Amino acid sequence: MDVQDMRIFARVAAVQNLSSVGNELNLTPGTISKRLQALEKDLGAKLFDRNTRSIRITEEGEKLLAYVERILVEIEGARAAISANTEQPRGRLRVSAPISLGAGALGNAICAFMELHKEIEIQIDLTDRPVSLQEEGYDVVIRRGTPANVGLMRKPLSPDPQVIVASPRYLQEFGTPTSPAELAGHFCLLHGDVTTWEFARKGHRVSVRVTGRLRSDNSELLHTAALAGMGIVRTSKWRCEPSIKSGYLRRLLPQYECVVDTTICALYPNSKLMLPKLRVFLDFLAEWFRDARGTGNNGPELLHMK
């Protein structure tokens, strides 16, 4: 059993699609199938149940997968240990980030990073949906808040405080709320399934249930809707600051703090040995965000199931 066969087997087990694995490894689905058949013949065991529409790992395959994953981690670790002493960080990094963050602050950071590290290629996919590092082949995922992913390392990069804003047009038509409780009587722009906004003032917290006609999982769309006078939105202070300075948006309830974890963080696999290309990327992002925001930075922390 060679290393390439182990990689093929592990990826097919994760993705359960021969064409996807073939595209990822630059091999045809036929070649993938033949390599798997040869592996099964060599081991004398059926590793996958296949039909024309699906492929599913067998009990024997699950047992093999536990060993193969450990072996591949050790191989990558050995390469990382050697590379750290013998060569500059190089190779391709696959990154996933939110649409709003990638189009602004993160995009500038990546351009600056690539100017310094000529041997590193970056593929960045912008999406607001949850992604799986293992199944989709990402090296690192940039997100806001504390995701539910377990077994991943989390490196905080920068605080991202939230504020309440609306356009002068909306406020002229519907009035200006002077307390969180008054938000219940306004049209609010809702992000995802969040319908409760929590506030803090002088050590006291208050929650208010908000409603509205427009809901989206895309914060940029909600920002645009706020500019158009469609309602009140809770959004990133950094994102809306230019609109506030220009007068297109007005900050509401400035005496209250929005209680929500929106820290910008990097998520990456938990491994004792990190590839040099990923290490320099994470270190650069931490420093860049610290300089750009004028904030501190904490070390990585492991997310556990609660």
Instruction: Identify the structural domains of the chain with CATH numbers, from first to last.
Output: 3-85 (1.10.10.10), 88-157+262-302 (3.40.190.10), 162-258 (3.40.190.290)
pLDDT on residue 238: 82
Answer yes or no: are the C-beta atoms of 262 and 192 closer than 8 Å: no
Q: How far apart are CA 139 and CA 236, in angstroms?
A: 26
pLDDT on residue 231: 98
pLDDT on residue 27: 87
Answer yes or no: are the C-beta atoms of 122 and 110 closer than 8 Å: yes
Global pTM reads: 0.64
- β-pairing, 264-269 vs 140-144, is antiparallel
Residue 272: Cβ within 10 Å count: 8
Tell me the pLDDT of the chain (306 aa) as tens digits.
788 888 899 989 888 888 888 887 888 889 989 999 999 999 999 999 988 778 889 999 999 999 998 888 888 777 766 665 556 788 899 999 988 787 667 888 999 999 999 999 999 999 888 888 777 888 999 988 876 655 688 899 988 899 999 999 999 999 999 999 999 999 999 998 999 999 999 989 999 999 999 999 888 899 999 999 999 999 999 889 999 999 999 999 999 999 998 889 999 887 656 778 899 999 999 998 888 755 444 445 555 433
pLDDT on residue 259: 94
**Vertex 137: Cα angle to 133 and 138 (nearest 5):** 55
The DSSP symbol for 161 reads -
pLDDT on residue 188: 98
Q: How far apart are CA 90 and CA 273, in angstroms?
A: 16
DSSP characters over 197-227: EEEEETTEEEEEE-EEEEEES-HHHHHHHHH
Answer yes or no: are the C-beta atoms of 146 and 154 closer than 8 Å: yes
Residue 231: Cβ within 10 Å count: 22
Q: Which residue has the tokens 């509401």?
A: 252
Minimal CA–CA distance to 226: which of 170, 161, 160? 170
